[in-house]
Amino acid sequence: MTTNPPSTSPAVVRLTQYSTAELREIAGDDDDPFGVSGAGLTWLPKQEHFGIRRDGRLVAHTGLVTLPLAVGEAETEVVGFGGVVVAPELRGHGLARLVVTAALEHARTTGPQYGLLFCRPHLLALYQRLGWRTLEEDVHVEQPDGPALMPLRTMWIPLRDGVHWPSGPVRLRSLPM
């Protein structure tokens, strides 16, 4: 069955609830919708959720969570972006752009200077098109048995004008999002 792409830009809404059921509504029964289970990481749930509904069904999501981060000697906070997913049959029609951009607009109002996300290497180009920058430094994140090197790629985006990424080793003082 083919699915017609959305004919007009759908609205992004704040979701009051986002659990495994909502993820399945978007991604179906895929038991590894983000393709990261091989990394063996423990992930943090997000605090705020943005979604797109089509004919009543949730078809896209981005989650946000504010987290402490150390870069060199500096202690700061980032808005972590995660759980970016679009229904398989609706990919390639700009829904990720819409939902990530709406989440970004919200993130800019929350205080931290940086957005941060982790992704597989083949998605770097996608996020670059949305304004994200690749971080070349190694990034350590918390895991249940202590700090671990993040095996995925890390990207950041300024949430205010004139913001620069500080130099030095990067350590997320939390489980990754």
Determine the Cα–Cα distance for residues 45 and 49; give it in Å rounded to an integer.
10
The residues, any chain, with a CB within 8 Å of residue 48's CB and separated by 6 or more, are: 14, 63, 64, 65, 103, 106
Task: Pick one of 18, 34, 50, 132: the residue that binds ligand COA (CB under 6 A).
Answer: 34
Instruction: Tell which residue, 44, 133, 30, 162, has the closest CA to residue 86.
Output: 30
How many other C-beta atoms can be found within 10 angstroms of the C-beta atom of residue 155? Answer: 21
Please, what is the minimum distance in Å from the beta carbon of residue 128 to ligand COA? 8
Under the criterion CB under 6 A, does residue 132 sit at the interface with ligand COA?
A: no
- Whether residue 110 contacts residue 66, with contact meaning beta carbons closer than 8 Å, is answered with yes
Under the criterion CB under 6 A, does residue 129 sit at the interface with ligand COA?
A: yes
Under the criterion CB under 6 A, does residue 91 sit at the interface with ligand COA?
A: yes
Query: Which lies closer to ligand COA via its Cβ, residue 33 or residue 166?
Result: 33
Please, what is the minimum distance in Å from the beta carbon of residue 116 to ligand COA? 11
Under the criterion CB under 6 A, does residue 86 sit at the interface with ligand COA?
A: yes
Q: How many residues bind ligand COA (CB under 6 A)?
A: 19
Task: Pick one of 123, 148, 157, 159: the residue that binds ligand COA (CB under 6 A).
Answer: 123
- Whether residue 61 contacts residue 46, with contact meaning beta carbons closer than 8 Å, is answered with no
**3-state secondary structure (DSSP) of residue 5:** coil
Residues found near ligand COA in the complex (CB under 6 A): 33-35, 84-86, 91-97, 119, 122-123, 125-126, 129
